[in-house]
Amino acid sequence: MLMFGWNGKFLHINLGKEKAVATEYEAKIARRFLGGRGFAAKILWDEIKPRIAPLSRENKLVFAAGPLTAFALPSSGKLVVAAKSPLTGGYGDGNIGTLASVQLRKAGYDAVIVEDKAEKPVVLLIQDQIVEFLDAKDLWGLNSFETEKKLRTIYGPASGILCIGQAGENLVKFANIVSQEGRAGGRPGMGAVMGSKNLKAVVFIGSNELSAAYPKEMKELGLDAYREVLTKPSYAFWKRQGTMMTIEWSHENSVLPTCNYSEGIFEKAEAIGGFTMEKFKVSNRGCPQCNMTCGNVIKDSNRKESELDYENVAMLGSNIGLGNLKQVAALNRVADEFGLDTISLGNVIGFAMEASEKGLIKEKVQWGKFKETKALIEDIAYRRGLGNILAEGVHSVAEKIGGDAHRWAMHIKCLEISAYDCHAAPAMALAYATSSIGAHHKDAWVISWEVKTGRESYGEEKVDKVIELQRIRGGVFESLTVCRLPWIELGFELEWYTKFLHAATGLELTWDNLNWIADRTFNLIRAFWIREYGDNWTKNMDTPPARWFEEPLTKGPLKGAKLDRTKYDVMLQKYYHKRGWDERGIPTKATLQKLGLEDVAKQLQKYVKLYE
Ligand code: PTT
Ligand code: SF4
């Protein structure tokens, strides 16, 4: 099959049998799902049996790229990692900027699907059509930085390496996958899935050129686009601070999660903010193919390098009451080494601090204590003592404590909420609540728009904005698969992406066409969740924790603010209506049929009573 833009091949790898089979997939799969998240959702829906245990042999781990990944285009070095999540029990994925994305595509594939479990720890080497299963006994037990360094000395600086640290090996439910000493992804436990398969690392090496439908147009567009990025007025400041500029902004607007999301301002915000970071900064790092590299590297309190982003610093800073940036950086560094998602980590530690303060756990875990927190992180990675309990994620810890603890366990669908407090942000609360993987900001980062346009409203315009962003960000960018930050942060125009797609694939797709594809993937992922949860699925799955409704902010300009439950429920029902879902939040048969997902509707009928 001749395809342009896409390679047209998936590689299935069975670790137990040590077998690899490359298959051509139908062109209509590419046209219907584009790539990345779209491919991952389709593969996981089709290939894993419903209701399997996520850490069993039966789960599959997908590495998926899109039709723009790895072309010489701005910020095109991203990769989606996906599986059924051990943290949430639903669809889980994450996005990593890594050379592995480039090498996977150059090796001739669009997705690699890893199944079953290796008998002993292995490194998977994928070099074009050759696949090797290498003994990883010398790497098992090493952290992610040490692992990658060893592999890189063998396979060279251009190889694409993904690996897990000790957290993934020990099946911590929010272990993620690490690359290039500071790129990490797969929040809902993709690292644990990798560990459950005895897979320590994957090395990708490719030697093929990608084939574009219009190579000359592609080359010229790429050059123009890279130049265009440099002309954007916010480029210079972005290079200085990247996502770190958001700390001060969040504090000023009372959305900076502080002490387990009890407040939205932090008295030491400046000390952990972008301008403080600039004073310590030693270099910029970034993903491949990018000319707006945003990874800010500083030397931490142990004089080790640590790459900072907003979420890392808010969750391991203000949310646990720590106001010293070098110490925050040290916690971030160990999280990267162990391969622990910093968002879930800061969330679950903040929860433990509050539980300790309230006398609900016997261990003394205090706000803002650096050394003790560092030791606790180590205990989580090695599953020791309290760490072993926290390693299960905040929902599970709250269940164990019982009583009222769930009211301030800050998760939605068992995924710890990322770094925006929503006491006074109903649209952002809705975005978290309806995100494809649980409470993550990836799909609809609506907060900056909401702060500009008004916090109080629960109106239709907010529902529309959340859906619009879910389509563009969670749908199109995750499937193309390229970084969304040129568009969000610099205002690099969306029209570029339809031109890129045309040059790569030859297809004339409009943004309406792309949004339609995004809706198909979004609904398929929703169906995946429903198939898993069946009749246990209710609108409560799409509702934020009680704290935001019941415990108002006590400090700052928005003192007294909290969400209104009745208005939230009305907004949620409006959202369901616009999505074509029933009052429980389940896509109706008619909606799935419109999207060409008739088979999905048929399956849901088996798992949900009174399905229409
Ligand atoms: C993402 C989530 C984020 S979102 C951050 S910081 W951010 C945290 N980063 C972690 C980290 O670092 N180390 C660690 N051990 N855990 C971490 N967990 C957190 O993971 C990241 C950038 C950023 S920085 C963002 S917003 C954008 N995300 C994109 C996305 O999701 N899709 C896309 N098409 N483009 C994106 N561009 C930006 O990429 P998850 P990265 Mg990440 C160290 O992983 O699971 O998706 O959760 O990938 O390569 O590090 O780039 O203020
Ligand atoms: Fe990676 Fe940042 Fe560049 Fe996006 S802007 S590709 S996150 S370095």
Q: Which DSSP string corresponds to 350-415? A: HHHHHHHHTTSSSS---TT-HHHHHHHHHHHHHT-HHHHHHTT-HHHHHHHH-TTGGGG--EETTE
Name the pairing type of β-strands 199-205 and 160-163.
antiparallel
Structure tokens at 136: 């990883």
Distance of alpha carbon 122 from alpha carbon 198, whole angstroms: 6
Ligand 1 atom 23 nearest Cα: 309
- The ligand 2 site (C-beta within 6 Å) comprises 75, 97, 286-287, 290, 292-295, 483, 485
Residue 227 is classified by DSSP as: H
CA 201 to ligand 2 centroid distance, Å? 23
- The ligand 1 site (C-beta within 6 Å) comprises 78, 94-97, 176, 182-187, 243, 287, 307, 309-312, 335-336, 340-343, 442, 477-478, 483-485
Q: How confident is the model at residue 301 (pLDDT cuts 50, 70, 90)?
A: very high
The predicted model gives 520-548 an average pLDDT of 97
Looking at domain 9-205, its CATH class is alpha beta
DSSP readout, 68-134? Answer: TTTSSSTT--EEEEEEE-TTTSSEEEEEEE-HHHHHHHHTT-SEEEEES--SS-EEEEEETTEEEEE
CA 341 to ligand 1 centroid distance, Å? 9
What is the CA 87 to chain-centroid distance, rounded? 13
Tens-digit pLDDT profile for residues 188-228 = 999 999 999 999 999 999 999 999 999 999 999 999 999 99
Tens-digit pLDDT profile for residues 338-360 = 999 999 999 999 999 999 999 99
CA 316 to ligand 2 centroid distance, Å? 21
pLDDT value for 611: 82
The larger pLDDT score, comparing residue 611 to residue 148, is at: 148
Is the pLDDT score of 471 beyond 90? yes
Query: Residues 246, 567, 586, CA angle at the centre, nearest 5°?
Result: 90
CA 294 to ligand 2 centroid distance, Å? 6
Distance of alpha carbon 581 from alpha carbon 523, whole angstroms: 9
CA 478 to ligand 2 centroid distance, Å? 14
* Contacts for 561-565: CB closer than 8 Å, 24+ residues apart: 561/254, 561/423, 561/424, 561/455, 562/423, 562/424, 563/422, 563/423, 563/424, 563/426, 563/429, 564/426, 564/458
**Closest ligand 1 atom to the C-alpha of 93?**
45
Strand boundaries in 392-504, DSSP class E: 411-412, 415-416
Q: What are phi and psi of 152, to 5 degrees?
A: -70, -35
**Closest ligand 1 atom to the C-alpha of 482?**
34
Q: How confident is the model at residue 41 (pLDDT cuts 50, 70, 90)?
A: very high
Residue 476 is classified by DSSP as: I
What pTM did the predictor assign?
0.98
Is the pLDDT score of 371 beyond 70? yes
pLDDT value for 392: 98
Domain ranges of the chain: 9-205
CA 184 to ligand 1 centroid distance, Å? 6
The predicted model gives 351-374 an average pLDDT of 98
- Indicate which ligand has the atom closest to the C-alpha of 443: 1
Average pLDDT over the chain, rounded to an integer: 97
pLDDT value for 234: 97
Q: How confident is the model at residue 119 (pLDDT cuts 50, 70, 90)?
A: very high
Tens-digit pLDDT profile for residues 83-105 = 999 999 999 999 999 999 999 99
**Closest ligand 2 atom to the C-alpha of 482?**
6
Flag the least confident range among 1-15, 419-433, 496-510, 540-554: 1-15
Distance of alpha carbon 523 from alpha carbon 587, whole angstroms: 7
pLDDT value for 182: 87
Distance of alpha carbon 373 from alpha carbon 379, whole angstroms: 10
pLDDT value for 612: 80
pLDDT value for 552: 98
CA 187 to ligand 1 centroid distance, Å? 9
Residue 580's Cβ-count burial label (10 Å; 0-12, 13-18, 19+) is middle
The predicted model gives 134-150 an average pLDDT of 98
pLDDT value for 383: 98
DSSP readout, 140-201? Answer: TT--HHHHHHHHHHHH-TTSEEEE--HHHHTT-TTB-EEETTTEEE-TTTHHHHHHHTTEEE
**Closest ligand 2 atom to the C-alpha of 286?**
8
pLDDT value for 103: 98
Distance of alpha carbon 474 from alpha carbon 465, whole angstroms: 13
pLDDT value for 3: 87
What is the CA 574 to chain-centroid distance, rounded? 26
Distance of alpha carbon 71 from alpha carbon 74, whole angstroms: 9
- Indicate which ligand has the atom closest to the C-alpha of 497: 1
* Run of H or E residues at 295: strand 295-299
CA 308 to ligand 1 centroid distance, Å? 11
Percentage above 70 pLDDT, the chain: 100
Give the residue among 6, 436, 387 at the shortest CA–CA distance from 175: 387
pLDDT value for 610: 77
What's the number of CA atoms in the CB half-sphere (13 Å) around residue 52?
20
Query: Residues 327, 330, 336, CA angle at the centre, nearest 5°?
Result: 145
Q: How confident is the model at residue 478 (pLDDT cuts 50, 70, 90)?
A: very high
Tens-digit pLDDT profile for residues 404-439 = 999 999 999 999 999 999 999 999 999 999 999 999
Give the residue among 383, 51, 63 at the shortest CA–CA distance from 197: 63
Mutate to test the pocket of ligand 1, among 342, 380, 445, 472 (most ligand atoms within 8 A of CB): 342
pLDDT value for 609: 86
- Indicate which ligand has the atom closest to the C-alpha of 239: 2
Mutate to test the pocket of ligand 1, among 311, 435, 490 (most ligand atoms within 8 A of CB): 311
Name the pairing type of β-strands 78-84 and 91-97.
antiparallel
Structure tokens at 174: 């929010």
Is the pLDDT score of 260 beyond 60? yes
Residue 35 is classified by DSSP as: S
Give the residue among 92, 109, 113 at the shortest CA–CA distance from 101: 109
- Indicate which ligand has the atom closest to the C-alpha of 307: 1
The one-letter amino acid code at 267 reads E
pLDDT value for 1: 55
The sign of the CA dihedral 418, 91, 336, 287 is negative
What's the number of CA atoms in the CB half-sphere (13 Å) around residue 235?
12
Distance of alpha carbon 453 from alpha carbon 217, whole angstroms: 39
Q: How confident is the model at residue 2 (pLDDT cuts 50, 70, 90)?
A: low
